[in-house]
Amino acid sequence: MAKGIIFDIKRYAIHDGPGIRTTIFLKGCSLRCQWCQNPEGQETNPEIILRSSRCARECNECVSACPQDAISKDGNSIEIDKAKCDLCAKCEEVCVYEALEIVGREVTVQELLAEIEKDRIFFDESGGGITFSGGEPLMHVDFLEALLKEIGKKNIHVTLDTSGYVSFEDLSRIYDKVDLFLYDLKIMDDEKHEKYTGVSNKLILENLRKLTELGKSVAVRIPLISGINDDNQSIHMFVDFLQSLKSIKQINLLSYHRGGCEKYKRLRKEGSPITFQSPSDERIEDIKKIFTDSGFSVKTGG
């Protein structure tokens, strides 16, 4: 039985597709967007995170509990030797202050189905359903395919939030079972795309074109980051490309927020993240107008 790795489940998700939804965050992504809001979704494998502010100075439980001697502690400053740590989660169990936490856990199709079923009444009432997000959900394509097959039997609306940076072969395995794609576009200029996300956008744009040609329902999500993709030229490049696809109607503009920075600290990632700025409200309104004038239906936020 295929298994997937998730790092979060959010209920009453109201900005990830129609109605009231449960959003499942699958772990792992091929992109390394410098403004990433969910850095805990980048690595496929589980990771250990530390919320220093919660750590109790006098407590030494994690150090004694660790069978690998991977943890050392000085005051409330904890060091974890990642080379030694085998993610056994013993430290998480003894950390009653919830300072140490393993993000990412393996789940089966049955487990997730039970979780999805919990909010069924809200989906039915609101026309909502399940959203898969991440990370990149398609990093777990075997698992996703098996899960979507079961969800299909339950007649629950499925939204897939994807970076598009996957083989079309993988997309082909699931696209019939997805009711709505939330398709992320970051930057049209390929060189710039590669600079800020670590990958070329060719595959992303090509997959989007193919999906629209197949008549799939797609809403495009664009994160707006000041100085990166919010200038008129960048916006017009989005417009030209999306107009060429003909069937795209819905654009969701998401303003960058700094929520990711705190998460980087917790993950103890090498190198501090670059802090970006969100465009001003006025600028977002201007951008919204450009899209609207070009015939798109635009939602901001969410």
Q: Which is nearer to other proteins, 68 or 126 (CB)?
A: 126
Residue 65 within binding range of other proteins, rule CB under 8 A: no
| 28 touches 140 (CB < 8 A) | yes
Residue 125 within binding range of other proteins, rule CB under 8 A: yes
Residue 111 within binding range of other proteins, rule CB under 8 A: no
Non-local (6+) Cβ contacts of 245 within 8 A are: 208, 209, 212
Binders in 81-110 for other proteins, by CB under 8 A: 93, 96-98
Minimum CB distance to other proteins, residue 133 (Å): 10
Q: Which is nearer to other proteins, 236 or 257 (CB)?
A: 257
CA angle 291, 222, 23 (to 5 degrees): 125
| 105 touches 92 (CB < 8 A) | no
What radius of gyration do the chain's Cα atoms show?
21
Question: Which of 243, 184, 182, 242 lies closest to 217, judged by CA?
Answer: 182
Q: Which is nearer to other proteins, 20 or 109 (CB)?
A: 20
| 33 touches 186 (CB < 8 A) | yes
Residue 142 within binding range of other proteins, rule CB under 8 A: no
Residue 241 within binding range of other proteins, rule CB under 8 A: no
- Residue 243, SS3 per DSSP: helix
**What is the contact mask toward other proteins in residues 18 to 57, using x (rule: CB under 8 A)?**
-xx--x--------------------------------x-
Minimum CB distance to other proteins, residue 139 (Å): 22
Among 12, 52, 277, 281, binds other proteins (CB under 8 A): 12
Minimum CB distance to other proteins, residue 205 (Å): 29
| 107 touches 5 (CB < 8 A) | yes
| 5 touches 44 (CB < 8 A) | yes
Minimum CB distance to other proteins, residue 120 (Å): 10
Kind and range of the H or E run holding 173: helix 168-174
Residue 267 within binding range of other proteins, rule CB under 8 A: no
Per-residue tokens: 215: 């008549």
Size of the site for other proteins (CB under 8 A): 27
Kind and range of the H or E run holding 263: helix 259-267
Which chain residues interact with other proteins by CB under 8 A? Answer: 10-16, 19-20, 23, 56, 59, 61, 93, 96-98, 118-119, 121-122, 125-126, 128, 299, 301-302
